[in-house]
């Protein structure tokens, strides 16, 4: 009986190992899209409408059955409509409030629990550009701020996968951390209803080993034909 059990375990291990070995050399493309709409309709003021969208596309390759690396391209956009009271006048603030994009490189290390399910984690580096526009209240007036930022980051993220078919995986995020970052910003300030303008340039860097867990996100991965 013990011989039969041992033989079954060996056969199962070999079968799973064969599945994992098939990953080596495979190329894949991963995608994640997130779209949000936020509406606020208070009793005493005008309604506000906001939206946000982000897209992330990654192209990678399994170097071994447990290790993959590749490149990512991401883009984001947000906007909406808001109203503010400045000098007893109602000011509408609408349109695109921010957008950005960047490129990065990732390394992922996998732990396969069976031929359907596993987890992965690894470091990443990225270069990003972002633009944002907002109104900042100051006493009886508002200051319009336009910000351009270029940032370089290094971080770690983790996720899980579920195999839907030979070509498709379902991906989920578990957590992330961006402990190292450097950012260069140049901002333009303009008082609403006035010709007064000012400019501010800043450079910041830091180390912040904070982990965001859990992180909710879903995506898909498609394996390309070699």
Residue 140 backbone phi and psi in degrees, to 5 = -95, 5
Q: Exposure of 35 by Cβ count < 10 A (0-12 exposed, 13-18 middle, 19+ buried)?
A: exposed
The predicted pLDDT at position 199 comes to 85
The predicted pLDDT at position 167 comes to 94
User: Computed over its alpha carbons, how large is the radius of gyration of the chain?
Assistant: 24
Given 3-state DSSP classes, what are the helix, strand and coil percentages for the chain, each rounded to the nearest 5? 10, 70, 20
Task: Tally the C-alpha atoms within 13 A of residue 183's C-alpha that lie toward its C-beta.
Answer: 17
Structure tokens at 131: 């633009």
Domain 2-223, what architecture? Beta Barrel (2.40)
- What is the greatest pairwise CA distance in the chain? 89
The predicted pLDDT at position 44 comes to 56
Distances (CA, A) of 157 to 74, 173, 212: 15, 8, 9
Q: Per-domain residue ranges for the chain?
A: 2-223
- From first to last of its 226 residues, what are the pLDDT tens digits of the chain? 444 544 444 444 444 444 455 899 999 999 987 777 777 766 555 667 788 888 889 999 999 999 999 999 999 999 887 766 656 666 677 788 899 999 999 999 999 999 899 999 999 999 999 999 887 665 566 777 889 999 999 999 999 999 999 999 999 888 888 888 999 998 887 766 666 778 889 999 888 877 777 767 789 999 998 7
């Amino acid at each position: 009986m013990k011989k039969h059990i041992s033989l079954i375990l060996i056969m199962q291990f070999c079968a799973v190992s064969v599945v994992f070995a098939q990953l080596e050399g495979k190329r894949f493309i991963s995608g994640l899209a997130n779209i949000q709409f936020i509406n606020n309709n208070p009793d005493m003021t005008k309604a506000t409408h906001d939206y946000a969208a982000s897209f992330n596309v990654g192209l990678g390759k399994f170097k071994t059955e447990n290790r993959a690396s590749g490149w990512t391209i991401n883009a984001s956009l947000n906007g909406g409509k808001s109203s503010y009271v400045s000098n007893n006048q109602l000011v509408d603030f609408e349109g695109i409030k921010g957008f950005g994009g960047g490129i990065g490189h990732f390394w992922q290390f996998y732990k396969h629990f069976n031929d359907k399910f596993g987890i992965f984690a690894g470091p990443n580096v990225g270069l990003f550009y972002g633009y944002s526009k907002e109104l900042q209240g100051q006493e009886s007036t508002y200051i319009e701020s336009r910000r351009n930022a270029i940032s370089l980051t290094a971080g770690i993220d983790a996720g899980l996968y579920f195999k839907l078919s030979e070509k498709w995986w379902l991906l989920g995020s578990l957590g992330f951390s961006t402990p190292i970052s450097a950012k260069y910003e140049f901002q333009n300030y303009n008082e609403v209803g006035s010709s007064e303008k000012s400019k501010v340039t800043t450079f910041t860097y830091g180390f912040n080993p904070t982990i965001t867990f859990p992180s909710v996100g879903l995506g898909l991965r498609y394996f390309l034909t070699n």
